[in-house]
Structure 1
Amino acid sequence: MAQFNLYDSLIDLSMIKSYCREKGSLCLYAKEEHFVQQGEVGKYLGVVESGYFKYQVITSSGKEAVVGFAFEGEIVVDFYNSYNRCPSEITIKAGSASSVSQIRISEARELINTTFDGNLSSLNGILFNEIYVRYLELYRKTPTERYIDLINQYPQIFDIVSLRDIASYLLITPVYLSRIRKIIAINTGE
């Protein structure tokens, strides 16, 4: 699948990924097992070797809402909170049986400081930009446009992620997602 998190292609993370793979531990996560629990300080940074992880928040009504993903070859971490030793605002859990080459966040902190010479402004700027663009698209685009963008950029996502989680990520209900898919299928003759 194409790179889902754009920051991964805008920042050279190869040294961090190599370090995780060479010096880290390969850990297996069962579907729904937590990598980071909301309210706790994250302990690890890792590279997803197989499967995927979903980033979730708990809404005011107590429901889980998907706000992001990390797929094979991508970094999985609640970067800001883990790096700064703050309780996480999100839960990161395996969306399927998954494996991660992971290192302790203390190791990651040292590695990141060395890799970026203690200057995290470029890293933070790229992470902020990705979040900001997503935020603006929630206002700029209709749910149908966001869905079309998602399937055009990541056509395999439906082979990996459940419809419920994709709907949550798009901020729509699964029923509405099914309607969008049906209308598109009718309009394209599929």
Structure 2
Amino acid sequence: MEKFNTYIEHPEIERWRDLCVNDGELCQYSKGEEFVSIGSVARYIGYVKSGTLKYVVYDELGKEHVCGFSSEGEFVADWPFALHGEKAKLAIIANSTSHIYRFPVKEIVERMKTDTELSELVAKSTELVFYQTYDRYIALYCQSPEIRYSNLIDNHPDLFELYSLGKATLL
């Protein structure tokens, strides 16, 4: 089964997992607890050991819209905005009890000053996230909601075991 977040399939991304697991701290987030809050600068990137998280935005009426997911074996971050000290435009919320190896963004920024390999990894990771986002954006114009839903279910048959049907607002 294909990953929901396609950037994760790139071999270089394994270096982020190693950084988070080996140098980060393992933390538990309860269902409903925020990993990133709207309007604040994200302090961590993370590797999800277990659990699920949702990326959400709110419309002018306060209605929640899910615009992304992270689950076991994936990363969670307000990427790349946290690296630039920019306030989050979305919230990342634990959808279930989640165990996350988290690593401080400040430390990444500091290491990038002397570690060219890390700087290259940041650039490559940003590029991969851009490609994924661009593909999804194009799909909004080229595929009907029905086709996007069908593709989502075909590629991720367990998605609604992890997230309720109401979370399908990303379609």
Q: Could you say whether these structures have the same fold, taking a TM-score greater than 0.5 normalized by the shorter chain as the test?
A: yes
Q: Aligned in 2, Cα 1:86/1:47: closer, same or farther, shift over 3 Å? A: same
For CA contacts below 8 A with separation 6 or more, give which structure has more relative contact order.
2
TM-score using structure 2 length: 0.90
Q: TM (normalized to structure 1)?
A: 0.82
Does structure 1 conserve the Cα–Cα contact (< 8 Å) formed by 2:50 and 2:98?
Answer: yes
Per-residue displacement from partner, 1:99-137 (whole Å, max 9, x unpaired)?
101111112335567374534443322211111111111
Q: CA deviation at 1:61?
A: 2.1
Matched, 1:21 2:16: no
Report the counterpart of residue 161 of structure 1 in structure 2.
163
User: What is the CA distance between 1:14 and its match in structure 2?
Assistant: 1.4
1:87 is matched with 87
- Answer whether contact 2:13 2:125 (CA < 8 A) is retained: no
The aligned residue for residue 119 of structure 2 is 118
Q: CA RMSD in A?
A: 1.8
> What is the alpha-carbon distance in structure 2 between the residues aligned to residue 124 and residue 98 of structure 1?
25
Distance 1:147 1:71 in 2: 19
Aligned position for 1:56: 56
Question: What is the Cα deviation at residue 158 of structure 1?
Answer: 1.5
Gaps of 5+ in 1: 171-190
Distance 1:46 1:121, change over 3 A: closer
Counterpart residue type for residue 88 of structure 1:
A
Percent pairwise identity: 34
Q: Deviations over 1:33-65 (max 9, x none)?
A: 000001000001110011111111111222111
Q: Within 5 Å, give how 1:66-105 maps onto structure 2.
A: 66-105=66-105
Q: Distance in 2 between matches of 1:129 and 1:80?
A: 13
SS of the residue aligned with 2:26? strand
Evaluate the alpha carbon distance shift between residue 152 and residue 112 of structure 1 in structure 2; reply closer, same or farther with a 3 A threshold.
farther
Contact 2:51 2:96 in 1 (8 A): yes
| Structure 2 CA distance for aligned equivalents of residues 16 and 110 of structure 1 | 16
Number of residue pairs matched? 169
3-state SS of the aligned residue for 1:124? helix
AA in 2 matched with 1:132: Y
